[in-house]
């Protein structure tokens, strides 16, 4: 898939990214494990099922999960327990659309992802997503994929 190679480099595909995420998740328990499992589910849904295999946009949007993420954000979870630090500008240099993510910590990055998913979930209710007249759902899902690639890259470093 070109999107992943463009952002992450040669030799990476959705499978290797998801394996990286699964390896990180296996070392966790409790809230961290639930959150990382939800991230892994969504990343697989977007990167593999949608972008790689062409699953239906509406069904993909319906299946996206944010329950664990929303709960942890709302309860004031300390995301530094998962990953300290901030997104380095070098991580986004190859993806200009993500340049404003440089400097965000994990909580800030996850809040942006939560907002993006919440907005995506509104689209089938508000628009006929089969037409690109008003909203380009493919581009929005690609951008969510880019965010997940950045998140995995950030978690891995």
State the chain's maximal CA–CA distance in angstroms: 45
Closest CA to 154 of 86, 77, 68: 86
What pTM did the predictor assign? Answer: 0.88
**pLDDT by 10s per residue, the chain, length 157:** 455 555 545 446 778 888 888 898 898 999 999 999 999 999 999 999 999 899 999 999 999 999 999 999 999 999 999 999 999 998 888 788 899 999 999 999 999 999 999 999 999 999 888 876 788 899 999 999 999 999 998 999 8
Whole-number Å distance between alpha carbons of 124 and 137: 9
> Is the separation of the CB atoms in 39 and 156 below 8 Å?
no
CA dihedral 145, 146, 149, 154 (to 10 degrees): -140
| Sign, CA torsion 105/106/107/111 | positive
- The dihedrals phi and psi of 16, each to the nearest 5 degrees, come to -70, -35
């Amino acid at each position: 898939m070109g999107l992943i190679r463009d952002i992450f480099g040669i030799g990476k595909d959705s499978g290797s990214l998801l394996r990286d995420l699964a390896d990180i998740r296996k070392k966790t328990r409790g809230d961290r494990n639930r959150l990382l499992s939800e991230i892994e589910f969504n990343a697989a849904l977007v990167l593999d099922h949608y972008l790689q295999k062409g699953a239906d946009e509406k069904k993909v949007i319906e299946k996206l999960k944010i329950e664990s993420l929303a709960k942890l954000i709302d309860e004031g979870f300390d995301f530094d327990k998962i990953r300290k630090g901030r997104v380095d500008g070098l991580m986004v240099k190859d993806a200009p659309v993500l340049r404003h993510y440089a400097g965000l910590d994990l909580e800030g990055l996850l809040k942006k992802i939560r907002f993006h998913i919440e907005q995506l979930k509104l689209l089938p209710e508000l628009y006929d997503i089969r037409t690109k007249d008003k909203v380009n759902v493919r581009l929005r899902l690609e951008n969510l994929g880019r965010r997940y690639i950045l998140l995995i890259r950030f978690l891995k470093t």
